[in-house]
Amino acid sequence: MACDLCKLLEAPAEGVIIWGDQLLVVINVDEAEYPGYTRVVWREHVREMTDLTAAQRQHVMAVVWAVEQAQRAVMAPHKINLASFGNMTPHVHWHVIRAIPTTPISLSRPGRRYSVLPIRPCWRPAARCYQRCTRP
């Protein structure tokens, strides 16, 4: 059975897909509280950015930054928020959300909740892991 994003990509309503190529699409998210809210969505089932090749990751981020730049140019927001949650779907995707001083802080909606994990009390274990992962 296809996931919700696969279903959306198979038969998108008019105006939902803003731009796309063979690898990903930019989707207009219909959220009244978040005008200009978009998602950059990888077309295939890939859960993590690190499951993509370096070139594919670069492509995703180039599109995310292009969407951010377009929102800044057209909408002149107070801030652009970028987020990658991926808890609800097996597609790598980035949320690009125009923020103004009155933007609600929570992205929670009835029936689903996003949570933010607490910051680690000690950064050193994470730093050592980062050093090991990035060492040539």
Please report, rounded to a whole number, the percentage of residues in the chain having pLDDT higher than 70.
73
Query: For position 132, what pLDDT does the model report?
Result: 41
Give the containing element (helix H, strand E) for 24: strand 24-28
| Torsion over CA: 107, 27, 15, 97 (sign) | positive
Residue pair 71/21 in contact (Cβ under 8 Å)? The answer is no
Query: For position 1, what pLDDT does the model report?
Result: 55
Domains annotated for the chain, with CATH where assigned, are 4-134 (3.30.428.10)
* Mean pLDDT over each residue of the chain, to the nearest integer: 78
Q: In what order do the strands lie in the sheet with 24-28?
A: 17-20, 24-28, 38-42, 93-99, 79-83
Cα distance from N-terminal residue to C-terminal residue, the chain: 41
DSSP 3-state percent helix, strand, coil across the chain (nearest 5)? 30, 20, 45
| Residue written as token pair 């090991």 | 132
Q: What is the rounded average pLDDT of the residues 8-12?
A: 90
pTM of the model: 0.73
